[in-house]
Amino acid sequence: MLVTAAFVQAQVIINENFDSYSNGDKIAQTAGAPWTTWSASPGGAEDGTVTSYVAKSGSNSLKIVKDNDCVLQLGDSTTGHYIYSMNLYTPQDTISYFNVLHVFAGQSSSWAIDNYGIGYDSTFHLVLQGHDTATAYFKAGSWNAYKLDVDMDKDEAKLFINDTLLFTWPWTMTAGDTSLGPNQLGGVDFYGYDVLNNGNCILYIDDIKLEKLTSTSINNATNEAELNIYPNPASSMLNIESSRDFKSIRIYDIAGAEVMYVPVNHNMQQIDISNLANGVYYVSINYENSIVVRKLVKR
């Protein structure tokens, strides 16, 4: 084990608890930037509403209902280490949904992750690459803490629910498929998405904060799982060994298409890649609560 010594400072960029607005205000219309709506129509049907019905702190929160599509722009940074946090309240017997974007540009946006909470069974879901990737339990009808840690210099993201790590993955992964998105932090889209088609989707948000972290005097970091992929380059058999058990292996070609999937439940695996065309691939190792990606050359 190596020792890490770091002094971390946080610069608060966005700090919003909605208490400076009145009950019934449309947030994008009243507050202006960095708030907007998906089709740039503040004050319309897409705009979220400030409410005093329930709040985590102070007197107000933001309410998102069916067909609202309210966007908080996060600045489009492409380098640096950021923490985005907020408190979420999903009423019982409802569904809540929002996504985080690499890029906000209407239908040309790049989706980083999808998130939804099901009040019916108190499960929170993280969606990556079109898969329901990780699930946590939360308390419906109560406030729950959401924290997204994005380090673009390392291409790494971590999601915490109620201060418990849910999942770790390369930030440039996308929500909908195996393509890679830009290494950028674009925005959060609070969308009243009727996941179950029953009209019952409600989300309350409070205490939004975006912070930029800066570290100095950092030595060597530590305690990550050892991962060995060999030989690399490889022509026929590929060996994967780790200090921790992993759950699956996916191999993607340079265009992001999945070319191989291997379910695993131990810490070593040999894979026959002789049928793959020569070229560059990405090997995605899925642990219980993280994904590690390594480059592979097939020749």
pLDDT digits (tens, 9 = 90+) for 252-290: 887 667 899 999 988 999 999 999 999 888 898 888 778
Structure tokens at 11: 């610069």
| Average pLDDT of the segment spanning 27-53 | 97
pLDDT at 202 over 70: yes
Q: Give every CB contact of residue 33 below 8 A, 6+ residues apart in sequence.
A: 73
Count other Cβ atoms within 10 Å, centred on residue 58.
13
pLDDT at 36 over 50: yes
Please give the pLDDT value at position 258: 81
Please give the pLDDT value at position 253: 83
Which domains, from first to last, does the chain contain? 7-216 (2.60.120.560), 227-298 (2.60.40.3080)
Please give the pLDDT value at position 223: 36
Q: Rounded to whole angstroms, how far apart are CA atoms 48 and 64?
A: 5
Structure tokens at 69: 């599509």
Percent helix / strand / coil, the chain, rounded to 5: 0, 60, 40
Count other Cβ atoms within 10 Å, centred on residue 162.
15
Q: Rounded to whole angstroms, how far apart are CA atoms 56 and 290?
A: 30
pLDDT digits (tens, 9 = 90+) for 132-178: 999 999 999 999 999 999 999 999 999 999 999 999 999 999 999 88
pLDDT at 211 over 50: yes
* Phi, then psi, of 220 in degrees rounded to 5: -90, 135
Greatest mean pLDDT among 59-73, 186-200, 256-270 lies in 59-73
Q: Rounded to whole angstroms, how far apart are CA atoms 229 and 295?
A: 9
| Average pLDDT of the segment spanning 84-90 | 97
Half-sphere exposure of 242 (CA within 13 A, CB side): 25
Structure tokens at 21: 């607005």
| Average pLDDT of the segment spanning 48-75 | 97
Helical spans, DSSP H, in 20-178: 27-31
Q: What is the DSSP letter of 226?
A: P
Out of 4-18, 182-196, 271-285, which region has the weakest mean confidence (pLDDT)?
Answer: 4-18
Q: Rounded to whole angstroms, how far apart are CA atoms 251 and 147?
A: 29
Q: Rounded to whole angstroms, how far apart are CA atoms 117 and 23?
A: 25
Burial group, residue 77, by CB count within 10 angstroms (0-12, 13-18, 19+): middle
- Strand-pairing partners, residue 242, are 227
| pLDDT > 70 in the chain, percent | 93
pLDDT at 220 over 80: no
- Strand-pairing partners, residue 262, are 249
Count other Cβ atoms within 10 Å, centred on residue 51.
18
pLDDT digits (tens, 9 = 90+) for 242-252: 988 998 998 98
Out of 6-20, 98-112, 115-129, 162-176, which region has the weakest mean confidence (pLDDT)?
Answer: 6-20
Structure tokens at 202: 């409600």
How much is the pTM? 0.77
Burial group, residue 183, by CB count within 10 angstroms (0-12, 13-18, 19+): middle
| pLDDT > 90 in the chain, percent | 73
